[in-house]
């Protein structure tokens, strides 16, 4: 996992008590939660679709996707609109907390304590001011959505 | 893409149009319309391809087009008869021409040399006719084509050599404005002539009117070129090949004395006719003069100057003003626009429509009086938005002609391959439909035409035995029907052999051996994945992908496919597709608090279920009595999983729908909200297909609503009820 530029910006967000982050370049915008139209026969973490200025945007409850405890979304919840593999996807999270500057060298391998499902999506972890932040690999979120829902 | 490549791309675009035109005109010829105009049109199409190809140095293409064109020239001069044999050859030649263009474009591998050479030989044989054919025909059967291709051109000069070539030519050349408009340059033509031998060029600018009456776009200059070389007249004519129609051209042979006569006839303002004046040097000089900057000041009151060519007052070497005088191209009737731009516009307009609807709703909610200025303004805005949307959609509407035109070639080739005689009849080519639909029609139509010829039609012997003409007819028709486009592909062949279809389906485990199926259901078995009736897997169809692929690609377009077949009489496949993939008329309904859209074309009627009309088949599956028929009653919210428990039918509304296959069913909703036109948004763009949902749309309140896939909902229910004996292999 080396990149030409070994320092990059990450956007950190919270689900429940856990903190995660993704590459800021894959996030297009951040907006408040609006009620989604549910899709029939879709997996539980698919909250449905919303209208993003004329685009039908599927919303994935990231917490549910990771197998974490989640609650009904409220107006305080946040949707991160991300670009994943040519598609636009909304990721429902509790809150966006920070923008971090991080070098790849600071990434530690995922310890063996996280749930299996979390490990599927976590590329590695950071430590910042004593907080633990998991780096999420978004590429893994969508293809598996398809596989599981098909 | 550099400029040259861009021009080349345009050339190939034009080639596509020219080929389409060529094909169409050839079809007319085939139908017996062998008038001069049609033949001329074919000639022009081939000629233009050749011209463009020459400019890009596409040697193979030029060579083939040239032979083609030569024959057309003979036909148009009436020197050769335009008989069916010739037309058949021309049709095949047009196929090869298309191959050459494809190859030149790099879209296809190199052209089948043997085929091309064979056709060249055939074309040349037809061109020269007369003495050769008898010999050639004998060879023809022995694959004697390839050598012929090289023999014939050699023969050509021999024949013409019989004509005594003149010792020189006098060419009087007066270009029309049109010639310059199509970007031809006199200078280049003169240079071409100079290549044939020593030339003397004289310019007559006597035709140039006074400045006030001068139209700069007219050609007013006349050149007299004296070419002292014993070349063929054809060679001289060839120089003017592409401009012949746009100029006055007289070519007269020069005898020895002719030289002197030319000079006598010459108008006063002439080029110094010194023989040692090299035309190339002269051109170079003239071009330098024509260069705008240095040439600006020589404009004098002398009233002979064509405006953009400030050259005339310069010394007599004014050979080259003409190129500079080339006027702007005439105003085009059509423009080429990158499809992406149109799509972007359509997307934005789609959003505008939604935004406008949202705004209207907000205004309404704000409690403003309907007569208030804002509310009235909103109404106007709505009208305008509609109009913009309609106009934008119209940009994309295209006649299905572009697809239909590709089919005659396919039919010819497939018919040849399976040795059947087929006539393709097309109708309704001008039916317009959204470009995306047009583009995606080609594949299923191709597939079904192949099937119709390969499986549908019998061999000529079988047909004769059945008392039918040896030539089978395949009909391809397009028409508008209730807001959809319908494509019908019918053949007059043997029809579907239901017993065989059933047997294959049983053998392949697609249905149970004791399944009771109606004729219609049996016919529809051929759409099941993995079904292929061809006893022998042929080259043309039956490659393991069959009608199920066609069905899926049609369904992906929001279309349906159905069959009707009469044994011994033939089969008809009917495709029904939406006119556009962008908007849809729908009924807005509520199910389990969700707003859903039912496509209006599928709806037959809506009704409030009465307890007396409700029954349960076998105590389980609910049905509703509708005009003395019992229709399955589908609780949509339950089927889609929005609700776990069935609702009481008497609390809701039943909407009777009909699928493309003609099955009826009643969909149960909680309420009907109304009817509206919705913009279709694909779920697949950012997500994936969802069973039972055709697409999504955005409502006036900004929320996403799902558009139901009625066929899937209905057949889903049927599948359940048929499950014991109707197993779908998927």
Q: What is the pLDDT of residue B143?
A: 42
With contacts defined as CB-CB under 8 Å, which chain B residues touch A48? 704
Token pair belonging to B388: 């913009």
- What is the bridge-based pairing of β-strands B704-708 and B594-599? parallel
Most B CBs within 10 A among A52, A56, A91, hence the mutation to make, goes to A56
Check CB contact under 8 Å for A39 and B706: yes
pLDDT higher than threshold 80 for residue B261 = no
Q: Which residue of A has its CA nearest to B347?
A: A54
With CA atoms as reference, report the closest residue to B600 among B726, B699, B483.
B483
- Residues of A whose CB is below 8 A from B590: none
Region label for B362, one of left (φ > 0), alpha (ψ between -120 and 50) or beta (otherwise): alpha
Provide mean pLDDT across the span A130-146.
Answer: 73
Averaged over A58-77, what is the pLDDT?
84
* Cα-based distances in Å from B110 to B8, B102, B417: 19, 9, 21
List the single residue in B640, B693, B703 with the smallest CB-CB distance to A51. Answer: B703
pLDDT at A91: 92
Q: Which residue has the higher pLDDT, B391 or A70?
A: B391
- In the predicted model, is pLDDT for residue A37 greater than 70? yes
* Residues B27-71 pLDDT 10s: 888 777 778 888 888 888 888 888 888 877 888 888 888 888 888
pLDDT band for B719, please (50, 70, 90 cuts).
low
The stretch B165-191 carries a mean pLDDT of 77
Coil, helix or strand at residue B99: helix
What SS3 class is residue A68? coil
Q: What pLDDT is attached to residue B641?
A: 83
Average pLDDT over residues B257-273: 46
Residue A49 distance to chain B (closest CA, Å): 7
Query: Does residue B460 carry a pLDDT above 50?
Result: yes
**DSSP type of residue A108:** B
Give the Cα separation of B726 and B719 in Å (integer): 8
pTM (2 d.p.): 0.48
pLDDT for the residue B717: 54
CA gyration radius for chain B?
35
A150 neighbourhood in chain B, CB within 8 Å: 688
Reported as a pLDDT band with limits 50, 70 and 90, residue B163 is very low
CA separation (Å) from B532 to B490, B545, B546?
19, 8, 6
Average pLDDT over residues B447-460: 86
Q: How confident is the model at residue B165 (pLDDT cuts 50, 70, 90)?
A: low
pLDDT at B112 over 80: no
Q: How high is the pLDDT of residue B278?
A: 59
Grouping H, G, I as helix, E, B as strand and the rest as coil, residue B250 is strand
The answer to whether B693 and B636 have CB atoms below 8 angstroms apart is no
Interface residues of chain B, partner chain A, Cβ below 8 Å: 347, 350-351, 354-355, 594-595, 640-642, 681-683, 685-688, 690-693, 696, 698, 702-706
Of B543, B541, B523, the closest CA to residue B452 belongs to B541
Q: Which residues of chain B are within 8 Å of residue A39 when distances are taken between CB atoms? A: 683, 687, 690, 693, 706
- pLDDT for residue A90 is more than 90: yes
Confidence class for position B153, pLDDT limits 50, 70, 90: very low
Residues of B in contact with A58 (CB under 8 A): 683, 686-687
pLDDT in tens, A38-63: 988 788 888 899 988 778 899 999 88
Q: Which residues pair with B570 in a beta bridge?
A: B566
**pLDDT value for B586:** 85
Cβ-based contacts of B634 with chain A (< 8 Å):
none
* Among the partner residues B355, B642, B685, nearest to A40 by beta-carbon distance: B642
Q: How much of chain A is helix, strand and coil, in % rounded to 5?
A: 20, 50, 35
Q: Is the pLDDT of residue B82 over 70?
A: yes
ipTM: 0.83
Interchain proximity A37–B354, CB inside 8 Å? no
Is the pLDDT higher at B684 or at B285? Answer: B684
Whether B221 contacts B321, CB under 8 Å:
yes
What proportion of chain B, given as a percentage, has pLDDT over 70? Answer: 78
Give the model's confidence band at B282: pLDDT under 50 very low, under 70 low, under 90 confident, else very high.
low
Specify burial of residue B287 (Cβ count, 10 A radius: 0-12, 13-18, 19+): middle
B518: confidence class by pLDDT, cuts 50, 70, 90: confident
pLDDT of A11: 92
| Predicted pLDDT of residue A59 | 92
B728 vs B237, residue with greater confidence: B237
Tell me the mean pLDDT in the region A101-121: 75
Which of chain A's residues have a Cβ under 8 Å away from the Cβ of B686? 55-58, 87-89
Q: For residue B76, give the DSSP letter.
A: H
Which of A40, A91, A148 is best to mutate for the B interface (most B CBs within 10 A)?
A40
Look at residue B322 and tell me whether its pLDDT is greater than 80.
no
**B129: pLDDT confidence band, cut at 50, 70 and 90?**
low
Polymer length of chain A: 150
Q: What is the mean pLDDT of chain A?
A: 81
Ranges B100-114, B527-541, B623-637, most confident: B623-637
- At A5, is the pLDDT very low, low, confident or very high (cuts 50, 70, 90)? low
Report the b/e string of A81-95 with b at 16+ CB within 10 A: bbebeeebbbbbbbe
State pLDDT tens for residues B582-614: 677 789 999 888 899 998 878 888 888 888 888
Interface test with A, best of B680, B688, B691 (most A CBs within 10 A): B688
A-chain residues near B344 (CB < 8 A): none
Q: Which of B25-39, B192-206, B429-443, B595-609 has the highest mean pLDDT?
A: B595-609
Residues 54-93 of A with CB under 8 A from B: 54-58, 87-89
Give the chain A residue whose CA is nearest to the CA of B701: A51
Asked if the Cβ–Cβ distance from B681 to A55 is below 8 Å, we say: yes
Q: Can you list the positions of beta strands (E) in B189-315?
A: 199-204, 222-227, 247-254
- Is A53 at the interface with chain B, CB within 8 A? yes
Q: What is the pLDDT of residues B326-364, one digit of tens each?
A: 445 555 577 778 878 887 888 788 778 778 877 887 887
């Amino acid at each position: 996992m080396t990149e030409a530029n070994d320092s990059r910006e990450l956007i950190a967000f919270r689900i429940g008590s856990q903190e995660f982050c993704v590459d800021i370049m894959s996030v297009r915008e951040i907006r408040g939660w609006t009620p989604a139209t549910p899709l029939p026969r879709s997996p539980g973490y698919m909250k449905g679709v919303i209208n993003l200025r004329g685009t039908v945007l599927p919303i994935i409850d990231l917490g549910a996707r990771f197998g974490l405890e989640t609650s009904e979304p409220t107006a305080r919840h946040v949707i991160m609109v991300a670009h994943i593999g040519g598609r636009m996807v909304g990721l429902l999270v509790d809150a966006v907390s920070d923008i971090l500057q991080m070098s790849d060298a600071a990434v530690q391998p995922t310890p063996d304590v996280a749930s299996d499902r979390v490990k599927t999506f976590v590329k590695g972890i950071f430590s910042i001011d004593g907080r633990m932040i998991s780096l999420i690999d978004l590429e893994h979120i969508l293809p598996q959505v398809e596989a599981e829902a098909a | 893409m550099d400029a040259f490549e861009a021009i080349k791309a345009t050339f190939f675009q034009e080639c596509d149009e020219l080929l389409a035109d060529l094909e169409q005109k050839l079809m007319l010829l085939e139908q017996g319309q062998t008038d001069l105009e049609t033949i001329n049109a074919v000639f022009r199409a081939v000629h233009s391809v050749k011209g463009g190809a020459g400019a890009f140095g596409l040697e193979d293409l030029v060579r083939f087009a040239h032979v083609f064109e030569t024959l057309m020239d003979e036909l148009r001069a009436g020197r050769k008869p335009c008989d069916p044999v010739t037309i058949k050859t021309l049709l095949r030649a047009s196929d090869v021409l298309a191959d050459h263009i494809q190859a030149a474009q790099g879209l296809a591998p190199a052209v089948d040399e043997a085929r091309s050479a064979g056709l060249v030989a055939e074309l040349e044989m037809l061109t020269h006719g007369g003495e050769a054919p008898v010999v050639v025909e004998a060879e023809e059967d022995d694959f004697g084509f390839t050598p012929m291709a090289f023999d014939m051109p050699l023969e050509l000069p021999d024949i013409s050599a019989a004509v005594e070539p003149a010792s020189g030519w006098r060419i009087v050349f007066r270009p029309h404005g049109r010639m310059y408009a199509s970007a031809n340059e006199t200078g280049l033509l003169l240079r071409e002539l100079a290549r044939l031998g020593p030339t003397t060029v004289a310019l007559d600018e006597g035709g140039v009117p006074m400045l006030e009456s001068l139209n700069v776009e007219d050609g007013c200059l006349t050149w007299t070129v004296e070419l002292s070389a014993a070349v063929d007249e054809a060679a001289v004519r060839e120089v003017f090949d592409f401009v012949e129609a746009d100029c006055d051209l007289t070519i007269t042979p020069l005898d020895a004395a002719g030289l002197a006569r030319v000079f006598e006839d010459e108008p006063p303002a002439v080029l110094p006719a010194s023989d040692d004046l090299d035309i190339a040097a002269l051109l170079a000089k003239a071009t330098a003069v024509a260069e705008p900057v240095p040439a600006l000041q020589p404009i004098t009151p002398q009233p002979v100057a064509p405006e953009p060519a400030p050259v005339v007052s310069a010394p007599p070497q004014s050979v080259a003003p003409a190129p500079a005088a080339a006027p702007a191209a005439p105003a085009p009737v059509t423009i080429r626009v990158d499809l992406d731009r149109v799509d972007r516009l359509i997307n934005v307009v789609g959003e505008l429509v939604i935004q406008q609807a949202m705004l209207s709703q907000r205004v309404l909610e704000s409690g403003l009086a309907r007569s208030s200025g804002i509310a009235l303004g909103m109404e106007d805005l709505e009208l305008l938005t509609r109009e913009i949307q309609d106009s934008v959609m119209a940009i994309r509407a295209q006649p299905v002609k572009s697809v239909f035109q590709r089919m005659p070639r396919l039919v010819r080739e497939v018919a040849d391959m399976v040795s059947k005689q087929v006539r393709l009849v097309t109708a309704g080519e001008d039916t317009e439909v959204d470009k995306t639909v047009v583009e995606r029609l080609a594949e299923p139509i191709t597939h079904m035409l192949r099937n119709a010829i390969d499986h549908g039609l019998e061999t000529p012997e079988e047909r004769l035995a059945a008392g039918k003409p040896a030539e089978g007819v395949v009909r391809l028709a397009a028409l508008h029907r209730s807001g959809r486009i319908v494509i019908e592909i019918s053949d007059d062949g043997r029809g579907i052999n239901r017993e065989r279809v059933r047997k294959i389906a049983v053998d392949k485990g697609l249905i149970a051996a004791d399944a009771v199926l109606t004729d219609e259901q049996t016919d529809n078995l051929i759409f099941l994945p993995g079904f292929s009736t061809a006893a022998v897997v042929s080259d043309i169809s039956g490659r393991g992908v069959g009608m199920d692929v066609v069905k899926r690609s049609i369904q992906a377009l929001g279309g349906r496919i159905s069959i009707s077949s009469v044994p011994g009489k033939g089969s008809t496949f009917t495709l029904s597709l939406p006119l556009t993939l962008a908007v849809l008329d729908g009924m807005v309904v509520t199910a389990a608090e969700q707003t859903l859209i039912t496509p209006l074309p599928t709806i037959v009627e809506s009704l409030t279920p009465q307890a007396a009309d409700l029954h349960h088949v076998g105590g389980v599956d609910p049905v509703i009595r509708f005009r003395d028929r019992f229709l399955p009653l589908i609780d949509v919210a339950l089927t889609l999983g929005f609700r776990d428990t069935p609702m009481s039918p008497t609390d809701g509304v039943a909407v009777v729908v009909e699928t493309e296959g003609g099955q009826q069913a009643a969909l149960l909703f909680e309420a009907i909200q109304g009817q509206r036109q919705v913009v279709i948004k694909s779920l697949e763009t950012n997500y994936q297909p969802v069973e039972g949902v055709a697409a999504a749309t955005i409502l006036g309140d900004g929320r996403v609503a799902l558009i139901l896939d009625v066929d899937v909902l209905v057949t889903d229910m049927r599948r359940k009820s048929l499950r014991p004996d109707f197993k779908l292999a998927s």
